[in-house]
Structure 1
């Protein structure tokens, strides 16, 4: 029960951090939108341009900044949905948080018959409703004990940049080397040494040696469970909608 309550607390805390897209510094924009897979109509470029004009930092799904890797709730994810009706090009721009909850939605429409021009005009109308980025004072804590993401990031970067990582902090899995870096109050991250990318962040659960884990994935971050077992770090990775498998990282 304590583990469940702890997990619910983290989710609730993250949702309180930002209530509007303007509260976010980062916006993740996917390469393709599901409703426009066959033809993009330059919507990806148009959305990125509109966001940058409003001072947002646009993030590519395959190149996540370190502070967002450590705390995925610093970013919102954008999507464009096709809501067109007869004789009118319509779309909806939706922003979701790290728990996939919708935080802001903006609609635009155009009577322009040319699809590219029509969708671009509709996107302009929708984005005109979006406020400028105003996330400078946003608190980014993940636990009751307050710490800023800047402090956490600096600590991780310092350890990753240290080329003489002690052997006791090196773990191996599938022929690759990984290292750990402490962040705050028994929290730590697991880092791929080859590219200095954080692949998972661990938060202590109520039971000893069990952790709530945020897995950093190109297909989308998700929550899972991790364990410490002697010299091994074990993570339960999602392999399907309802299937999981464990990966062991050993010293």
Structure 2
């Protein structure tokens, strides 16, 4: 399935590019930066914190959300390069698109002698230049292809949904039908059968039958938890800033 999705969308999106990092909702951050393999100086954590404050969603390379798997061009990838000179800690934060083209570069420097403090200060100066996340439905500038991309997305998900129906993985909740489809590494998605839209992606947690869940919503995706309980799938949905409620999908 992953190969099919990648092939379809790499063809459909190969010519489409965003103009600025702010056009992207997702930022993929590697576990290690090549220039800081021996010592991270807390740059990975610092970059994630700075981006979250600007409302970007951080993506781990080992756990890609389904919408990014379907459309890799929804995400930009961040990297930090060491550009230090004598008596000055300097670095460059670079963002690239799905075709590895550089879309934004920000530099920062510090005269702080301590490496950790110096690089963190330089990172702060660099990230102060990054705009707040302002992504649209798709980070593209050529709107004439948007309809085709969305139609392809629906087609792929419909194929998955139809296959799932054949396997009788049908769940019901509030009078609506839902289906599931496996992706990889024991991950699966929950699909609204009526409109063939993925509404949640499940990632296995350390404890059996408990999952990390990405809820896919028009108001913005968010992370929550889910459970498998016999023939039931249970998701904890956000109902407010600090309130949650559970919804059960039953076979």
TM-score range, shorter chain: 0.5 to 0.7
Please report how far the alpha carbon of residue 41 of structure 1 lies from its aligned counterpart in structure 2 after TM superposition: 0.2
1:35 deviates by 0.2
CA-CA distance at 1:147 after TM superposition: 3.3
TM-superposed deviation, 1:138: 3.9
Whole-angstrom CA distance in 2 between matches of 1:36 and 1:130: 21
- When normalised by structure 1's length, the TM-score is 0.57
Provide closer, same or farther for how the CA distance between residues 129 and 222 of structure 1 changes in structure 2, counting only shifts above 3 A: closer
**2: CA distance, partners of 1:64 / 1:42:** 23
Q: Can you give the 5+ residue segments of structure 2 that lack an aligned partner in the other structure?
A: none
Classify 1:132/1:241 alpha carbon distance in 2 versus 1 (closer, same or farther; 3 Å).
closer
1:67–1:153 Cα contact (<8 Å) kept? no
Change (3 A) 1:16 1:145: closer
Alignment partners' CA distance in 1, 2:7 and 2:212: 8
Q: How well do the aligned residues superpose, as a CA RMSD in angstroms?
A: 12.8
Q: Which moved more, 1:140-149 or 1:120-129?
A: 140-149
Q: 8 Å contact 1:3–1:205 — kept in the other structure?
A: no
Range with greater deviation from structure 2 (179-188 or 74-83):
179-188
Q: TM-score if structure 2 supplies the norm length?
A: 0.57
Question: Structure 1 residues 166, 142: closer, same or farther in 2, change over 3 A?
Answer: farther
Distance 1:204 1:50, change over 3 A: closer
Deviations 1:165-219 (A, max 9, x none): 5379999999999999999999999999999999999999999999999999999
Aligned pair in 2 of structure 1 residues 170, 85: CA closer, same or farther (>3 Å)? farther
CA contact (8 A) 1:152 1:184 kept: no
CA distance in 1, matches of 2:156, 2:5: 28
Deviation track 1:19-40 (CA, whole Å, cap 9, x = no partner) reads 1000000000000000000000
Show the counterpart of 2:144: 144
Match of 1:23 in 2: 23
Gaps of 5+ in 1: none
Compute the displacement of 1:146 (Å): 3.6
